[in-house]
Amino acid sequence: MKTVSEVNAHGGVQGVYSHASECCACDMTFAVFVPPQAGKRPCPVVWYLSGLTCTHANVMEKGEYRRLATELGLIIVCPDTSPRGDIPDVEDNWQLGKGAGFYVDATQAPWSANYRMYSYITDELPALIGEHFPVDMGRQAIFGHSMGGHGALTIALKNPARFKSCSAFAPIVHPMGADWAIGAFRSYLGEDENFWREHDACALIEDGARFPEFLVDQGSADGFLDEGLRPWLFEEACKDTGIGLTLRMQEGYDHSYYFISSFMEDHLRWHAARIG
């Protein structure tokens, strides 16, 4: 692991790091905020997954999480959204390739050699974080935005014993039926939609996956609301399953980091209360 940068912030350290990823067969960059409490004891870790076209830097620069992370004693890990470097890509399509990893393990060539973001987020990066940072891996939470919200929901549903809590900002809850996700799913996972279901939050719940509860915030002025997000489908999927869902429609908010930063404190307090 290489240190790209480290700066002091709110009594803690905001760092950016890189390493050679075996899963993605390229160098990967990620950000970690370590609060001052970590100098005395291991701290809980909260994973934040970013959305389409983003890197680790978007939430690090615009998410406004550090003050409260220091107050609550939380380590915040912000991975990249996809592999980078000299790898397959489609330059004129922001919904496929670099910046659009969709947190799946691609099975189709040429994507399968690098686009293995599910394994990277669930296996390789946690091992690296556990080795190099003072984290309490028995207390983990996960959240994300848009494509990253999709990643957080599906990863939590598939790993309920690992994560104490999960939340999302404007998640893509049913990518199998969303125009801006279908192309990536077909390219990465093939034509058989039965294989898509394990990376679709609504389908996972229909197929029996369970998680205790979710917090979802969605802006009513989000331009992607009707086209690709459709949180009411997730609400319907959770109904009569025993899954608790707090779905909050935030009047007048859009899809941007102005929206995310406005409710970041609510989400971090949600996770801190459940991590312990």
Beta strand 75-79 with 135-145 is: unpaired
Mean model confidence pLDDT for the chain: 97
208 alpha-carbon distance from chain centroid: 22
Half-sphere exposure of 50 (CA within 13 A, CB side): 26
Q: How many domains does the chain have?
A: 1
**Residue 102 burial (CB count, 10 A):** 27
Asked if residue 252 has pLDDT above 90, the reply is yes
Question: Which of 145, 150, 255, 271 is the catalytic position?
Answer: 255
Residue 276 has pLDDT above 90, yes or no: no
| Displacement of CA 60 from its chain's centroid (Å) | 13
**Candidates 50, 82, 222, 271; catalytic one:** 222
C-alpha distances in Å from residue 186, one per residue of 46, 194, 206: 30, 11, 21
**Does residue 103 surpass a pLDDT of 90?**
yes
Report strand pairing: 244-250 vs 213-219: parallel
Question: What is the spatial distance between Cα 206 and Cα 186, in angstroms, rounded to a whole number?
Answer: 21
pLDDT band at 261 (very low <50, low <70, confident <90, very high): very high
Q: Which of 21, 50, 82, 146 is catalytic?
A: 146
Q: How far is CA 256 from the centre of its chain?
A: 16
Residue 240 has phi, psi (to 5 degrees) of 65, 25
Q: pLDDT for 119-149, tens place per residue?
A: 999 999 999 999 999 999 999 999 999 999 9
Residue that the structure tokens 């399968």 belong to: 112
Q: What's the domain range around 67? A: 2-275
Question: Do residues 249 and 229 make contact, with C-beta atoms less than 8 angstroms apart?
Answer: no
Both tokens of 28, joined, read 């990967």
Does 91 have pLDDT greater than 90?
no
Q: What percent of the chain lies above the pLDDT cut of 90?
A: 98
Query: H-helix or E-strand containing 135?
Result: strand 135-145
Q: What pLDDT was estimated at residue 180? A: 87
Q: Which residues pair with residue 126 across a beta bridge?
A: none
Contacts of 67 (CB under 8 A, 6+ apart): 10
> Catalytic site residue 50?
no
Whether the pLDDT of residue 238 is over 90: the answer is yes
Distance in angstroms (rounded) separating the CA atoms of residues 237 and 219 = 20
Known catalytic membership, residue 255 = yes
Give 9-66 pLDDT, tens digit per residue.
999 999 999 999 999 999 999 999 999 999 999 999 999 999 999 999 999 999 999 9
CATH of the domain at 163: 3.40.50.1820
Q: Residue holding tokens 């990249």? A: 80
Kindly tell me if the per-residue pLDDT of 227 is higher than 90. Answer: no
Q: Please indicate whether residue 146 is annotated as part of the active site.
A: yes
